[in-house]
Structure 1
């Protein structure tokens, strides 16, 4: 009997809180924010780095960090936190509590929302926020309530590991971080691992230039490729504005946060707190990465949740306003013609 090289494929490893990508065979985990998951192609692939470019004056990046860690705690992922300021216990004490469904919350918000307004017919049948890439309740990941904190003393006791910097001087913190992270990443884990690097490259990390940051990211990216580990990294990009494109080359996904008062595009939209821009989206596991039809999004932080929506201009709410403007324009043109 002729032998073949065929071997039966063994059982596929199941990771809690992960799903297969629709575009390739990579495993995705949720960032904790459904809108961000949709923008980057359904979730964050394992073995990749998500860069969140912090706003200069606000702390919305901290909210995304809390969602990211909360999702890891709920799914019993190994959580690795690197922060030179706050202790991991302080970060865990601020995690939002998990809720079973957001249906009840949506009903409450709908009751408190403004009554229906008369709008242009072309906006009448469109989704709020428009398009398919919006913060909708698709059942991937969990939902959280920002107004309450998570109880991590019971079943949700986190599998936490922290990078200790107490014995390190400022100028050696980045070097020490990459060395200790590589050791932790290479340590086998029964589940996926989530790494949070908070406020990296700020002055208290030492005297880092853009070249140092790029070298750090290159080593970090090589260390997690092919491993069940994903990284959320926040950097104050306004400090390295001239070298921002070079830094983005060494991550897989990059999101830029800008507050309303700083970003002119959303300065006139009082309903939003800021603008979220997709600066880079490139999965290492396929030649084609799904791209949304726009890179500009708006976000708002409500009392109970952080919402990401397509940025759209509000319609003209009254016919009289536009009609009055047209009449005034016609009168002014008529005066110019009289001589």
Structure 2
């Protein structure tokens, strides 16, 4: 008589290049290209999510984060898809920053090399050393970049890049009222790139089969909704919905930048709500040659509008939301805002110097007042 028991086989996590598993929600994460950015959003970008970056009027800081995002994908071997109608894609790729080689050696590798000369018991000499494997895996996630240097041509030639700057328009009467034909060509290009690099999620994977090494498609859509796109502002949230539907069924992440100063508050609010991550870089405003003392030493505010709730009830909450950013010659930094010393030692408030009227200690009637001089 055959029993109805099945062997409980554990489904192993997929081996995906350049990712790590979050300890909080067991989600696959990829790096944004800025380790400090990864720390404030919970360790990195979750695979299958959409990151919204609101551009400032000069579009300098959003462009910098986009280049770091793409440069991280180049170093870990991720295929790229870049869509833009405002910028030359080849010029953008050629300006990707190179990895910072100074002070980037992991401490684990140093400790392993120093302890290799130590003598251990004979029974442990032939056991495999797993510490070096861990250090190699940790190097693959997150890199520091030198903003003063660009990638060498040899590295640029090996990039798996898909470009989209507009294409032949196919008129479809059934969907013309929802999305423009040009946006449909963009979505078709995204789907074709996912199929080309085998990035669609396959659910029918048994525990006994070997897990194949897969990759993550990094998509960057620049200045979506600018005048060159010729899209009505009401259609921008619809595009976000279409992108999220594709991302939820694929092994990919998408970064979208929008010129928020072109849209009304209602459109911006809907885009923030639909996206998974939403951040805004607000540059410091100089008035009469002076800057807000709270932003002294900073280039602007790093504002987090939304973080996702994936495999958990509440989203990740950083230690503080009072963050500022600054761009130095070699790196992009995010720091906690702190009051300078001259503001911390402020003068006393006026209400602290106010002395109220002296009340009489006698609580008798009208004729028993010992203090005849009333102070008003």
- Normalising by the smaller structure, the TM-score range is 0.7 to 0.9
Q: Choose which of 300, 307, 310 in structure 2 pairs with 1:274.
A: 300
Report the counterpart of residue 182 of structure 2 in structure 1.
173
CA distance in structure 2 between the partners assigned to 1:287 and 1:48 by the alignment: 17
Following TM superposition, by how much is the alpha carbon of 1:205 offset from its aligned partner in structure 2, in angstroms?
0.6
Measure how far apart 1:311 and its partner are.
Answer: 1.8
Q: How far off its partner does 1:20 sit? A: 0.3
Q: Point out where structure 1 has 5 or more consecutive residues left out of the alignment.
A: 105-137, 335-339
1:83 offset after TM fit, Å?
Answer: 0.8
Tell me how far 1:238 sits from its aligned partner: 2.0
* Distance of 1:41 and 1:18 partners within structure 2: 14
Q: Which residue of structure 2 lines up, in the alignment, with residue 284 of structure 1?
A: 310
Report the secondary structure of 2:154's partner residue.
Answer: coil
CA distance in 1, matches of 2:55, 2:343: 34
TM-score (norm 2): 0.70
In structure 1, the partner of 2:133 is none
Deviations 1:110-165 (A, max 9, x none): xxxxxxxxxxxxxxxxxxxxxxxxxxxx9640111000001141497211111241
Given that residues 53 and 234 in structure 1 are in contact (C-alpha distance below 8 angstroms), is that contact kept between their aligned partners in structure 2?
Answer: yes
What is the alpha-carbon distance in structure 1 between the residues aligned to residue 334 and residue 215 of structure 2? 29
- 1:308 aligned to 2:334? yes
> 1:60 aligns to what?
61
1:194 to 213, 218, 226: 218
Paired residue for 2:271? 247
> Rg bigger for which structure?
2
Of the three residues 297, 322, 325, the one matched with 2:323 is 297
Distance (whole Å) between structure 2 residues aligned to residue 317 and residue 279 of structure 1: 28
- Cα offsets for 1:9-35 (capped at 9, x unmatched): 354321221100111121000001112
- Is 1:233 equivalent to 2:256 in the alignment? yes
Aligned residue number for residue 214 of structure 1: 237
Structure 1: distance between partners of 2:237 and 2:49? 15
- Number of residue equivalences: 292
- Whole-Å separation in 2 of the counterparts to 1:262 and 1:213: 32
Q: Distance in 1 between matches of 2:231 and 2:156?
A: 42
* TM-score, normalisation: structure 1: 0.77
RMSD: 3.0
| Equivalent pair of 1:178/1:216 in contact (CA under 8 Å) | no
Equivalent residue number for residue 362 of structure 2? none
Aligned to 2:177: none
Taking the aligned partners of 2:259 and 2:58, their CA distance within structure 1 comes to 10
Cα displacement (A) at 1:200: 0.7
Please tell me whether the aligned partners of residues 71 and 141 of structure 1 are also in contact (alpha carbons under 8 angstroms): yes
Picking from 274, 277, 280, the partner of 1:256 is: 280
Residue 296 of structure 1, CA deviation: 3.1
8 A Cα contact 1:163 1:181, kept in partner: no
Secondary structure of the 2:305 match is: strand
| Distance in 1 separating the partners of 2:186 and 2:235 | 13
